[in-house]
Chain A
Amino acid sequence: MNEQIALSVQNVYKVFGKRPAEAVKRMKAGKTRDEVSALGTAAVIDASFDVRAGEIFVVMGLSGSGKSTLIRTLNGLQPQTAGNVVVGGTDISTISDAELRKVRQQKISMVFQHFALMPHRTVADNAAYALEVQGMAKAERLARAEKVLKLVGLEGWGDKFPAELSGGMQQRVGLARALCAETDILLMDEAFSALDPLIRREMQEQLVALQADLGKTIVFITHDLNEAMFLGDRIAVMRDGRIVQIGTPDDILTHPANDYVAQFVQDVDRTRVLTAGSVMEPARAVVNLSGGPRNALRTMRDLQTSAAFVVDQRRTFFGTVRDRDVMHLVESRAPDLAAAVRNGNGAVRAETPLSELFGLAVESPIPLPVVDDEGRLVGAIPRVTLLAALGNVPSSTTDIPIVESAPAPIPEQEVTRTLNKTSMGIKTSAEGGTR
Chain B
Amino acid sequence: MDLEFRIPLGDWVDVGLDWLLATFAAVFAFIRTVFLAAYDSLEWLLTTPPSWAIIIVFAAIAYAARGWKLALGTALGFLLIVGVNQWDNAMESFALVIVATVVAILLSVPTGILAASSATASAIIRPILDFMQTMPAMVYLIPALVMFRVGVVPGIIATIIFSMAPGVRFTELGIRGVDKEVVEAGYAFGSSPGSILRKIQLPLAMPTIMAGINQVIMLALSMVVIAGMVGAGGLGGEVVASLNRIDAGLGFEAGLAVVILAIFLDRVTASVGKTSEPGGRAGAGRLAKQSLQNA
Contact = CB atoms under 8 A, between A and B. Distances in A.
B278 A130 contact: no
A113 interface: yes
Contact of A109 (B189, B200, B278, B285): B189
Contacts of A114: 179, 181
Interface residues of B, number: 24
Contact of B185 (A103, A105, A112): A112
B190 A133 contact: yes
A110 interface: yes
A125 B190 CA distance: 16
Nearest to B284: A120
A129 B199 CA distance: 10
B interface SS class: helix
B195 interface: yes
Contacts of B189: 104-105, 109-110, 129-130, 133, 177, 181
B188 A104 contact: yes
Nearest to A75: B188
Interface string A299-330: 00000000000000000000000000000000
Contacts of A177: 185, 189
Contacts of A122: 285
B14 interface: no
Contacts of A116: 179, 181-182, 184-185
Given A112-B181, A161-B281, A121 B190 contact: no
B192 interface: yes
Interface in B246-295: 278, 281-282, 284-285, 287-289
A161 B289 CA distance: 13
A317 to B, nearest CB: 51
B187 interface: yes
A199 interface: no
A163 interface: yes
A130 B285 CA distance: 18
Contacts of B287: 120
B41 interface: no
B281 A77 contact: no
A333 interface: no
B203 interface: yes
Interface residues of A, number: 32
A175 interface: no
A38 interface: no
Nearest to B181: A116
B185 A102 contact: no
A134 B191 CA distance: 8
Nearest to A72: B184
B105 interface: no
A118 B190 contact: no
Nearest to B293: A138
Contacts of B288: 120-121
Given A77-B184, A112-B181, A116-B184, A104 B281 contact: no
Contacts, number: 76
Given A77-B184, A116-B181, A101 B190 contact: yes
Contacts of A287: none
Nearest to A122: B285
B78 to A, nearest CB: 35
Contacts of A161: 281-282, 285
Residue among B189, B281, B288 with the most chain A CB within 10 A? B189
Nearest to A106: B190
Interface string B192-206: 100100011001100
A109 B3 CA distance: 67
B216 to A, nearest CB: 23
A134 B284 contact: no
A179 to B, nearest CB: 12
Nearest to B183: A116
Given A118-B200, A120-B284, A161-B281, A133 B181 contact: no
Contact of B191 (A110, A117, A133, A187): A133
A118 B183 CA distance: 9
A117 B182 contact: yes
Contacts of B191: 101, 133
A28 B153 CA distance: 65
A185 to B, nearest CB: 12
A119 interface: yes
A133 B198 CA distance: 12
Contacts of A120: 203-204, 281, 284-285, 287-288
Interface in A91-150: 101-106, 109-110, 112-122, 125, 129-130, 133-134
A181 B185 CA distance: 13
Residue among B185, B192, B204, B281 with the most chain A CB within 10 A? B185
A115 B179 CA distance: 11
B257 to A, nearest CB: 39
Nearest to A112: B181
Contacts of B284: 119-120
A26 to B, nearest CB: 27
Nearest to B192: A101
A133 B195 contact: yes
A178 to B, nearest CB: 8
26 contacts: A102-B190, A103-B190, A104-B188, A104-B189, A104-B190, A109-B188, A112-B181, A112-B184, A112-B185, A113-B181, A116-B185, A118-B199, A118-B204, A119-B204, A120-B203, A120-B284, A121-B285, A122-B285, A129-B185, A130-B189, A133-B189, A133-B190, A161-B282, A177-B185, A177-B189, A181-B189
Given A121-B288, A161-B282, 4 more contacts: A112-B185, A116-B184, A120-B284, A130-B190
Interface of B: 179, 181-182, 184-185, 187-192, 195, 199-200, 203-204, 278, 281-282, 284-285, 287-289
